[in-house]
Each structure stands twice: as C-alpha cells, then as structure tokens.
Structure 1
Amino acid sequence: MTAVLDYQQLKADLSKELPGIEIQAESSFLLALPEDIHHVCQYLVSRPLQIDYLTNLTAADYPEYIEIVFYLNSIVNNTAMTLKTRLTDKTNPKMASVVDIWRGAELQEREIYDLFGVVFENHIGLKRIFLWEGFEGYPLRKDFANGH
C-alpha cells in the first residue's frame, strides 16, 4: 500500500532546506507559491524523498485563481503526495516548467497551456496540443465565451 507523506513534517523540512519560501501544509496537499514551485519540486526529487514520478499534472479554474495540481509518487519509497500552486494573475497566468525535473510533464504542461492558457516558462516546446494554432481562447476557462 502506498503511504501518503506527512504534510506538516514536509512543510517543516522544506522551510529548513529552502529558507524564504512560503508554503502551506493542508491535510491532503502542500501549497506553494508559483515563484517557489520549481525549487520545491527540485527538493522533492532529491534524497530522502525521491519523488521520482509525476503521475498527473492538471489544472482547475476558480473565480480568483487557476490552480495547478501535481500528483506525485516515489517509486523507491512507495509514497504519494499532492502539490498545488495558485496563479492569481488570470490575464497572464505563468509559472516555471518542471519538464527539466520530470520529463513526463512535457505533454501535460502543453495540455494545460492549450486548454487554460497557462504559460510554462522554459518549457522545451510549448505550443497547442489539441487545438489548432490561431484558435482563440482557452476552452476550460470559466470565461471562455464560445463554450457550448
């Protein structure tokens, strides 16, 4: 059975290892600021955690922000965790790409870009994956005017 990490302990460890980052520990996930997400992910892949597998990367559009959700696992340690960040600038949502950390993020970041409009900085080839170039808008956003 896969064990879920203790988020309060993880927050304490992160605060010690990465001073200056702002992080919240909830009962079922860790919440980091968008500008800290890349550093947090780099820490997660290192020892002793070895979060080596990005199971899923997804997004949700809320009235005040776009939430990016990372579902992560350590194959070696048989642990699972959820990491989130919230992009409050909905007119220009952007954050660092994690493709350099988990190669499996490449297509998932492109999907979020295509359907939500989130720009992943330093992505190796960020372009639409489902919709054609020139398509206007982001269909999974609540403000998408042409939704059916």
Structure 2
Amino acid sequence: MTAVLDYPQLKAALSKELPGIEIQADGSFLLVSPEDMHKVCERLTSLPSIQMDYLTNLTAADYSEYIEIIFHLNSITHNTSATVKTRLTDKKNPKMASVVDIWRGAELQEREIYDLFGVFFENHIGLKRIFLWEGFEGYPLRKDFVNGH
C-alpha cells in the first residue's frame, strides 16, 4: 500500500529548497501558485528524499472563482504519494507552465484539460484539441459552457 506523505513535512522540505516560494499545506494536499508550480514539480522529482517520479493523474475542476489543476503524484522509489494543486484565477485566459518536460505522461492529460477546460499550457510540445475538433467553440467542462454556442 502506498503511504501518503506528511504535507507539513513536505512543505517544509520544499520551502527549504525553494526560498521565497509560498506553499500552503492542507491536510490532504499542497497548494502552490501557478507561477511557481513548475519549479515545485521539478523539486518534487529531483529531491532524493521525495522523488515523485510518476504522474498518476493530472486533472482540473472548474469552480466559480478559479480553475483548479490537480496533480496526483507517486514515488515508485519510496512507495509514497502526494496531491499538489494550483488555482488559476484568470478564467478568461487560464494558463500555466507545462510539466511535460518533467513527466512525459502529462502530454495527453494537459491536452485533455486544454480541450475540455480551456487551460493553456505554456511550452507544451503539441497543445491541440484531443477529443473535439479544431474550430469547436467553448470548453464543455466549464461551468459557463452553453451547449451549441
């Protein structure tokens, strides 16, 4: 069985490695600003004591104030898991850095989030729609989506 990392300890380790980056530790996840997410993800993979080397799932949820991007991560080496989230408050132009350079498996998952939620992943290697056709208007998993418009 995979053990969930202790989030206050994880926050302390990352804060030590990345001074100046604000990280919040909830009981069940870390919350990081979109601007700092790529740096945090890099450290989550490279710190020998953490080594989150497997992106299990990357998904999104639309709330009235923001779009939340959720990372479910595992360390195969340490048999641990963690959840890291970020919140994109600019719902008209939601964007953040791609993590495909960290976890190759993010390529398809970022395309899915782009296609269904409209989140633009900067520096993605091939960001385009994956389920819907080019020219489809809107993002069907957004709360403001109106069918047929």
Partner residue of 2:72? 71
Aligned positions of 1:91-110 closer than 5 A: 91-110=92-111
3-state SS, counterpart of residue 35 of structure 2? helix
Match of 1:28 in 2: 28
CA distance in structure 1 between the aligned counterparts of 2:60 and 2:124, rounded to whole angstroms? 17
Q: Name stretches of at least 5 consecutive residues in structure 2 with no aligned partner.
A: none
Please report how far the alpha carbon of residue 22 of structure 1 lies from its aligned counterpart in structure 2 after TM superposition. 1.1
Which residue does 2:82 correspond to in 1? 81
- SS of residue in 1 equivalent to 2:85: strand
Q: For residues 98 and 78 of structure 1, what CA distance do their matches in structure 2 show? A: 22
Between the aligned partners of 1:55 and 1:14, the Cα distance in structure 2 is 20
| Aligned-residue CA RMSD (Å) | 0.7
**1:127 match:** 128
Deviating above 2 A after TM superposition, structure 1's stretches of 4 or more consecutive aligned residues are none
Amino acid at match of 1:27: G
CA deviations on 1:3-39 (whole Å, 9 max, x unpaired) are 1101001111111110111110000000000000000
* Paired residue type of 1:125: G
* Deviation of the 1:128 alpha carbon: 0.2
CA displacement at 1:124 relative to structure 2: 0.2
Residue correspondences, number:
147
2-structure distance, mates of 1:45, 1:130: 30
Q: Which amino acid aligns with 2:20?
A: G
Give the distance between the partners of 1:11 and 1:104, measured in 2 at CA.
25
**How high is the TM-score relative to the length of structure 1?**
0.98
Structure 1 unaligned runs (5+)? none
Partner Cα separation in structure 1 for residue 132 and residue 78 of structure 2: 38
**TM-superposition CA deviations, 1:108-143 (whole Å, max 9, x none):** 000000000000000000000000000000000000
What is the DSSP-based 3-state SS (H/G/I as helix, E as strand, rest coil) of the residue aligned with 1:31?
A: strand
Q: Which amino acid aligns with 1:42?
A: E
* Secondary structure of 2:36's aligned partner: helix
Q: CA deviation at 1:48?
A: 1.9
Q: TM-score, normalised by structure 2?
A: 0.97
In structure 1, what is the equivalent of residue 40 of structure 2?
40
